Structure 1
Amino acid sequence: MSTESTSPENPPEPPVLPRTQLSLADAVREIERHVSTAGWDAPVRVFALVGTARALAASPELADQLTADVQAAAEGDATHLTSIEQEGLPVADDLEELLGGITWPDSVDGAAITVERVILPPAAEEAMPTDQDAALDYLMSHPDRQDVRIAVGALRSGESWSAIRTRAHDDDSSVAMGADLVPGLLEALRATLS
């Protein structure tokens, strides 16, 4: 048993994530950064996640579309993931309907999605009007509103990862990340993999 204590001079070690979850975290971070280059006020974007080494073995011509860095990473790490943006998404009235209409073939190891939302502090949410039009006006004009971009990913094997960027702190070093930051969205995304 260790007798070392935690203090500002001796902070606790961050938890070591399993290799598969690290690969998912890398994929979600890369997706969020890729989407951020297009700026704000973007539509929902959906990505299939596939094991890079397995995809290269099944389709060697894929190598022409991947950078040398990605190919080298896949050679050194069997859990490395490649994201494939899905185009021509079905028309849907809302995010739940969109995700409800997506199913993935067994060749897809996981999925990721990016979406933008406006959030309020809890106290401001409690004061939001119940009428839908009034609530939208309230939300869009509230001085404490925050525009956020959420990127979440989930694997069939159960791992998940989230990245959240605010418009107010639109910088790669200010993106919050963690395994379960947006549980409702992750659950809806996981359902597409069932």
Structure 2
Amino acid sequence: MPSSQPSTRMSPQQTSLARTVVEVESHVAQRGWDAPVGVFALVRTAAALEQDPSLASLLDAAALAESQADPTALTVIEQEDLPASANLEQLLGQLAWPETVDGVVLSVEQMTVPLEAQERAAAIADAEQRLAVMRQDPGTNDVRMVVGVLRTGESWCAVRGRRQDDDANVTQGEAIIPGLIEALRSTLD
């Protein structure tokens, strides 16, 4: 069941991160499924503008107004030309961020397969047939996980299933995917 909007009991930083993660998830969802891993740096907009006022020419009026009203407002910078890697663990092991980056968001898709389907498929020697058996199971679903963390410790996750591909069915919360949260935090150390 999808969770509601971020709680008013959250810190301003947590609220800003939650809003940003949901915006990134929506942005990535517009691209469709079967997308590559996405990595996004987060910077506090007000601090970035203070350091380099010329950045104002790159932001729209709404982002500028938000940065004046909310010092925790974040700007998302999509990272292109990610390093080559065999898997997500290797990619994350290659990422490091300068102190000017306040956080990071990761978008990744994964197939979830019920244990029974995995057990049935394990007996199949051919890898393509094994994958086909798992994909055909009615409990199998592709999920898009969007996870964000800040240097200050806050985290937020948004998860969408391909079979329930609707904005109303995006589950969100602070610690839905703890392994990815910790892996992302390690890129900020």
Same fold (TM over 0.5): yes
Which residue number corresponds to residue 8 of structure 1? none
For the pair 1:38 / 2:31, whether they are aligned, the reply is yes
Identical positions, percent: 47
* Offset, 1:93: 0.2
Normalised by the length of structure 1, the TM-score is 0.87
Q: Which amino acid aligns with 2:85?
A: A
Task: Could you tell me which runs of 5 or more consecutive residues in structure 2 were left unpaired when the two chains were aligned.
Answer: 1-6
Task: Could you tell me which runs of 5 or more consecutive residues in structure 1 were left unpaired when the two chains were aligned.
Answer: 1-13
Which residue number corresponds to residue 60 of structure 1? 53
Describe the shift of the 1:24–1:136 C-alpha distance in structure 2 as closer, same or farther (beyond 3 A). Answer: same
SS in 2 for 1:37: helix
* Offset, 1:39: 0.8
1: distance between equivalents of 2:107 and 2:96? 17
Q: Deviations along 1:23-71, whole A, 9 cap, x unmatched?
A: 0001101111111111111000000010010011112222122111111
How many residue pairs align between the two structures? 181
2: distance between equivalents of 1:28 and 1:59? 24
1: distance between equivalents of 2:48 and 2:16? 15
Tell me if structure 2 keeps the 8 A contact 1:24–1:81. yes
Which residue number corresponds to residue 178 of structure 1? 173
2: distance between equivalents of 1:135 and 1:65? 48
For the pair 1:159 / 2:157, whether they are aligned, the reply is no
Q: Deviations along 1:102-153, whole A, 9 cap, x unmatched?
A: 0000000110100011112344445551769265343323222111111000
Give the helix-richer structure, 1 or 2: 2
Q: Which amino acid aligns with 1:174?
A: N
Q: Which amino acid aligns with 1:117?
A: Q
Rg (Cα) greater in structure: 1
Normalised by the length of structure 2, the TM-score is 0.89
* Offset, 1:154: 0.5
Q: Deviations along 1:60-113, whole A, 9 cap, x unmatched?
A: 222122111111111011111111000010000000000000000000011010
For the pair 1:49 / 2:42, whether they are aligned, the reply is yes
2: distance between equivalents of 1:26 and 1:79? 11
Tell me if structure 2 keeps the 8 A contact 1:118–1:139. no
Describe the shift of the 1:37–1:137 C-alpha distance in structure 2 as closer, same or farther (beyond 3 A). Answer: same
